[in-house]
């Protein structure tokens, strides 16, 4: 406001040079104010329910997809595990069978040795059977027996060593009750181990028993 104009006084016409005219805006009936009805509690609840349902459905779909992937992975792992278990089980059955055969061989060996300790005269029968396999014309016959059996044989067959032209050789590596006979053209293995192996092979059959008997012999020698 100009400092020369005082409020409450009439402004002269010559003092209105710097006054701008202000016109009132036109107001039409078309500019109607739209009423916005307030949102009810029921509508809010429905909105919340719809949003929750949408989120639930999305979560359910994602959960089902995750579960399907996890189940597929577990099935694949189980299938792999089952495949790896098939061969070990077959191998385990074979190993158990071999161990049972080996146990049978060891038990039989112990029973035979126990019988030989209680009946040392068994070496005499073994010698008769082995010598009967030699041709009558054989010369330079050597009979290898355990030192304890050698004394027993000499005490029972005194004089026959020279008469039959065979020589008794003490061999501590041969188990009591067995013998090995060698001549110029023949060799007879009548050791306890060999006779036991032949018996078990005949009873059980196959190379499997021969392998088991071989392992039993190695363990016994050790």
Q: What is the pLDDT of residue 102?
A: 76
Judge if 113 and 70 occupy the same domain.
Answer: yes
Judge if 164 and 178 occupy the same domain.
Answer: yes
- 48 within some domain: yes
- The ranges of the chain with pLDDT < 70 are 1-37, 39, 85-92, 112-120, 159-164, 204-222
Q: pLDDT tens for residues 173-183?
A: 998 888 999 98
Q: How many residues does the chain have?
A: 222
User: Residue 192: exposed, middle, or buried by beta-carbon count in 10 A (0-12, 13-18, 19+)?
Assistant: buried
Q: What is the pLDDT of residue 144?
A: 95
Residue finishing a domain among 83, 99, 118:
118
- 140 within some domain: yes
- 35 within some domain: no
Q: What is the pLDDT of residue 161?
A: 60
Judge if 136 and 156 occupy the same domain.
Answer: yes
Q: What is the pLDDT of residue 85?
A: 67
- 216 within some domain: no
- 99 within some domain: yes
- 3 within some domain: no
Q: What is the pLDDT of residue 81?
A: 74
Tokens coding 69 = 């992937």
Judge if 105 and 135 occupy the same domain.
Answer: no
Tokens coding 9 = 């006084």
Domain span at residue 183 reads 120-203
Residue finishing a domain among 57, 89, 118:
118
Judge if 114 and 48 occupy the same domain.
Answer: yes
Judge if 131 and 186 occupy the same domain.
Answer: yes
Tally of domains within the chain? 2
Residue finishing a domain among 63, 87, 118:
118
- CATH number for 160: 3.30.2320.30
């Amino acid at each position: 406001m100009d400092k020369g104009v005082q409020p409450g006084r009439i402004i002269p016409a010559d003092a209105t040079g710097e006054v701008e005219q202000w016109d009132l805006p036109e107001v039409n009936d078309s500019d109607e104010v739209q009423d916005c009805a307030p949102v009810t509690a029921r509508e809010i609840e429905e909105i919340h329910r719809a949003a929750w349902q949408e989120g639930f459905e999305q979560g359910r779909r994602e959960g089902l997809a995750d579960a399907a992937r996890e189940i597929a992975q577990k099935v694949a792992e189980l299938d792999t595990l089952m495949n790896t278990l098939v061969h070990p089980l077959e191998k385990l059955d074979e190993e158990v069978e071999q161990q049972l055969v080996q146990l049978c061989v060891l038990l039989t060996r112990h029973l035979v040795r126990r019988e030989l300790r209680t009946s040392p005269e068994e070496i005499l029968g073994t010698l008769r059977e082995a010598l009967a396999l030699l041709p009558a014309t054989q010369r330079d016959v050597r009979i290898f027996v355990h030192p304890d059996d050698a004394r027993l044989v000499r005490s029972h067959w005194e004089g026959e060593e020279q008469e039959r032209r065979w020589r008794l050789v003490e061999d501590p590596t041969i188990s009591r009750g067995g013998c090995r006979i060698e001549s110029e053209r023949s060799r007879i293995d009548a050791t306890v181990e060999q006779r036991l192996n032949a018996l078990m092979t005949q009873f059980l059959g196959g190379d499997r028993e021969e392998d088991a008997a071989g392992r039993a012999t190695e363990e016994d020698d050790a």
